[in-house]
Amino acid sequence: MNIHEYQGKQLFKEAGVKVLEGIHCTTVEQANEAYKTLNSKVVAVKSQIHAGGRGKGTMYHPESGELVMEGGVKIAFSADEVNTYATNILGNNLVTIQTGAEGKIVNNLYVEAGCAIAHEYYLAILVDREEKSILIMASTEGGVDIEEVAENTPELLHKVWIDPSAGLLGFQARNLAAKLGLGKMAGRSFQKMLFSLYQMFTARDCAMVEINPLVRSEDDEIIALDAKVSFDENAFFRQKQVFEDMRDLSEEEPTEVLAKETGLSYVKLDGNIGCLVNGAGLAMATMDVTKLYGGEPANFLDVGGGADEEQVKTAFSIILKDPNVKGILVNIFGGIMRCDIIAKGVIAATKALELDVPLVVRLSGTNFEEGRAILSSSDLNIHSAETLAEGAQKIVELIGGGQ
Amino acid sequence: MAIWIEEDAKVLVQGITGTQGHFHADKMVEYGTVIVGGVTPGKGGQTVELQGKDFPVFDSVIGAIEATGADASVIYVPPPFAGAAIMEAADAFYRAKGEGVIICITEGIPTLDMVKAVAYVNDREGVRLIGPNCPGIITPGEVGGAKIGIMPGHIHAKGRIGIVSKSGTLTYEAVAQTMSIDEGQSTCIGIGGDPINGTGFIDCLRDFEADSQTEAIVMIGEIGGTAEEDAAAWAKDNVSKPIVGFVAGATAPPGKRMGHAGAIISGGKGTAADKIAAFKDAGIHVANDPSEIGAVLLVALKEAGLR
């Protein structure tokens, strides 16, 4: 789960990581008020969406699509400028390299005091899958695309791996400060910040914390100018505060949220062939094979290993919420879950939802003969397939070829 | 010989009194797995009925191992307690026998719990963790065999193909594909779809290469991380047996988690295209569609003079 920058900074502040004074706003009036309250000559007016590249993004009118303003993060030097920028941002659509062409409507704004910056750094804490440990990455090249730094000048990206039983150790923080070329004062400020941030990362089950830029002010303080924080959804049960208070459902695909609530795993895609599968790997393979035979998958959907009739019905209704869906491919490998049960679920769902798009069902594994017999003896227009390849070819054909 | 789990391996079930643990313990006994008992703290001394027979429940894994001489333990404990269950089993096997296999089926364990648990297991030489978030491991026998996990036992048969996969149902597909060309399996291992797991592809390849029963390998990966690339590079220099590979997720969009916690393309890393390219570079026979695995395996076996 991702949160907004202003929420991340609230957590930073609680953890003891230095941030600048800022105020979260949802209206232009609040933004104008915030400027007065902050009493800072320069402020940053920052769009709050769950995607990066905001500064270099573009604001568009949500209906007309007209260009409103270049940049989703602006530096304002007066009350008038704050008013203009807030007006141009709130309610408009921000398109960045990470949002895709459709962009995201900005409903939240963060107005933040300025500071005199001496240097910009990069800092991130994440879980390294290959080393199976927490990894801290830091660089003197802050404020830029870190993937480019990693690609072109990997020697400027410093990495520290944490032994899970020892935690972050003093020498690691000290050496990292030295690698960043920090002097005595700034080095001390950096180490204190790093311990606070690491503590927050583990205590709150973060998946990733990225600060770009982390800055050294002219008076040698280390300050987080940005906050990109995400959390491990598996830790929801012990992080209720963050998951309940900070989740912004408007940033998530509504059908994906609904699917999650019903225990299904669903990801919306751009195609027109709905896929209903048991198992994540098989669900991906079903999408891939659909594409291989000229179709475009409309979604990823894993009904899980123990799905029953009710769950199959919910899955169908979720797939059908997408108006692009022109046909559905069901691919089940019955393990513990029996194919005859699934077949009954498919028939019940088809009837209950008055399904009017072509449906191809491929059943394999436990009790597949019984399952296929149930489908073929029904009076519904359900096409059966023996293999995934055959199923994909059939559904592509039934909807009249590829897109 | 198979790898890690022999047909007659003695198996404990952690969480045997829970719904999942009890259901699957029953299925394992039905298949022929030698279940020797279960562990649920606080319920020691009780018994659990599986296939009409009573099995003992112990309070601790160490107590259960001392009483039964178990070789492996399978975990069906809910996510909040699964990390601790893995560590308990690791410590118990290490102290009681100096070896043991832990299979964790549980899905949804917090990543930082797994970081801790995997490091804990790795500190105890001789102890192996398979999973979490996986279907388990099965070594089919002529009759029965050792099925440890949640896979449907009846689709398997004893044979010479070793299978390793990140995904559950795709593993079953791969099994069905080997059967479609009249080949059985030596051992099938689901290593799981979590970002942090125990046994990896390379561990499996190394032991399949050394195993006399295994003559060819099917390896199934998916998007996310670089385990497939690393395994392919390793196999190029170290595996002489033919390998057939499949990678799921060619159509997955970047930045989106595809069901499995680990199945995500992030920062341009972990794409199916990269993994398939690495497979091809290592001489792995690549199937573009899981329904082709059998046909591709047949070609690979023929090329190697095994058919």
> What was the pLDDT predicted at B82?
98
Instruction: Write out the two tokens for B126.
Output: 């001789």
Instruction: Give the tokens for residue B189.
Output: 């291992």
Q: Decide if pLDDT at A403 tops 70.
A: no
> Of B111, B249, B252, which is closest to A127 when you measure between CB atoms?
B111
The Cα-based distances of B178 to A390, B36, B59, B119, B201 in angstroms read 19, 31, 41, 35, 19
A 253-282 residues with CB < 8 A to B: 265, 267, 269, 277-282
List b or e across B13-36, with b for residues whose CB sees 16 or more CB atoms inside 10 angstroms: bbbbbbebbbebbbbbbebbbbbb
Which range, of A339-343, A395-399, B179-183, B303-307, averages the lowest pLDDT?
A339-343
Q: Which of A139, A199, A208, A136 is nearest to A172 (CA)?
A: A136
Q: Does B198 touch chain A (CB under 8 A)?
A: no
Residue A235 near residue B112, CB atoms below 8 Å: yes
pLDDT score, position A29: 97
CB contact at 8 A, A31 and A82: yes
pLDDT score recorded for residue B197:
96
Cα–Cα distance for residue pair B63/B44, rounded to 1 Å: 10
Task: Kindly determine whether residue B80 and residue A237, on different chains, have CB atoms separated by under 8 Å.
Answer: yes
For residue B147, the cross-strand partners are B138
Is it the case that residue A35 has pLDDT exceeding 70? yes
List, in sequence order, the alpha helices (H) in B108-160. Answer: 111-122
For the stretch A44-86, pLDDT in tens is 999 999 988 899 999 999 999 999 999 999 999 999 999 999 9
Average pLDDT over residues B10-25: 96
**pLDDT tens-digit map of A331-343:** 999 877 788 888 9
CA distance A48 to B275: 35
pLDDT > 90: percent of chain B: 94
Backbone dihedral region for residue A294 (phi beyond 0: left; psi -120 to 50: alpha; all else: beta): left
Task: Provide the pLDDT for residue B268.
Answer: 81
Give contacts of B229 with chain A, Cβ < 8 Å: none
For the segment A268-277, the average pLDDT, to the nearest whole number, is: 95
Tens of pLDDT, residue by residue over B76-131, are 999 999 999 999 999 999 999 999 999 999 999 999 999 999 999 999 999 999 99
In this complex, do B119 and A389 lie within 8 Å of one another by their Cβ atoms? no
Contact B290 A289 (CB under 8 A): yes
Least confident of A220-234, A322-336, B36-50: A322-336
A4's tokens? 């907004």
The two three-digit tokens of residue A278, written as one number: 């048991």
* Euclidean distance between CA atoms A271 and A299, whole angstroms: 7
User: What mean pLDDT comes out for the span B261-283?
Assistant: 92
For chain A, what percent of residues have pLDDT higher than 90? 79
Q: Which residues of A touch B104 (CB under 8 A)?
A: none
pLDDT at position A402: 61
CA distances B147 to A93, A279, A337, B20, B35, Å, are 54, 19, 17, 15, 10
- Residue A36, H or E segment: helix A28-38
Beta carbons of B263 and A364 less than 8 Å apart: no
* Of A173 and B168, more confident: A173
Give, in degrees to the nearest 5, the angle at Cα B117 between B114 and B119.
Answer: 105
pLDDT mean across residues, chain A: 93
Mean pLDDT for chain B overall: 96
Contacts of B198 in chain A (CB under 8 A): none
Catalytic residue among A6, A35, A110, A122: A122
CA distance B101 to B99: 7
Q: Do A336 and B290 touch (CB under 8 A)?
A: no
In the sheet that holds A359-365, the strands lie side by side as: A265-268, A299-302, A273-277, A327-334, A359-365, A382-385
B67/chain A closest Cα distance in angstroms: 31
Joined together, the tokens standing for residue A112 give: 């933040």
- Give yes or no for A198 touching B (CB within 8 A): no
Q: Which residues of A touch B110 (CB under 8 A)?
A: 205, 232, 234-235, 238
Residue whose structure tokens are 């364990």? B109
**pLDDT value at A309 more than 80:** no
If you ran DSSP here, which 8-state letter would residue B107 be given?
Answer: -
Which position among A112, A120, A141, A210 bears the catalytic label? A210
Residue A399: the pLDDT is 93
Q: Residue A263 is which amino acid?
A: G
pLDDT for B143 beyond 80: yes
Rounded to 5°, the CA angle A120-A122-A127 comes to 165
- The answer to whether B186 and B208 have CB atoms below 8 angstroms apart is yes
**What's A113's DSSP letter?**
E
CB contact under 8 A, A335 and B258: no
pLDDT at A87 over 70: yes
Does the pLDDT of residue B297 top 60, yes or no?
A: yes
Nearest to B76 by CA among B95, B64, B89, B65: B89
* Mean predicted confidence (pLDDT) in A170-185: 97
CA–CA separation, A128 vs B115, rounded Å?
10
Mean pLDDT of A375-381: 87
Q: What dihedral angle (degrees, nearest 10) is formed by the CA atoms of A204, B92, A128, A7?
A: -10
pLDDT digit string, tens, across residues B199-208? 999 999 999 9
Query: Is A122 annotated as catalytic?
Result: yes
Question: Please, are residues B249 and B263 in contact by the beta-carbon 8 Å criterion?
Answer: yes
Q: Which residues of B touch A366 (CB under 8 A)?
A: 152, 154-155
- Is B270 in contact with B224 (CB distance < 8 Å)? yes
A-chain CB neighbours of B260 within 8 Å are: 280-281
Tell me the pTM. 0.94
Of A256-260, B19-23, B301-305, give the lowest mean pLDDT range: A256-260
To the nearest 5 percent, what fractions of chain B are helix, strand and coil?
35, 25, 40
Question: Is the backbone of residue B145 left (phi > 0), alpha (psi -120 to 50) or beta?
Answer: left
Distance of alpha carbon B165 from alpha carbon B219, whole angstroms = 6
Our measurement of the distance from residue A358's CA atom to the centroid of its chain's CA atoms, rounded to an integer in Å, reads 32
Mean pLDDT over residues B248-267, rounded?
A: 90
**A203 interface with B at CB cutoff 8 Å:** no
Residue to mutate among A137, A296, A333, with most B CBs inside 10 A, is: A333
Per-residue pLDDT of A186-227, as tens digits, reads: 999 999 999 999 999 999 999 999 999 999 999 999 999 999
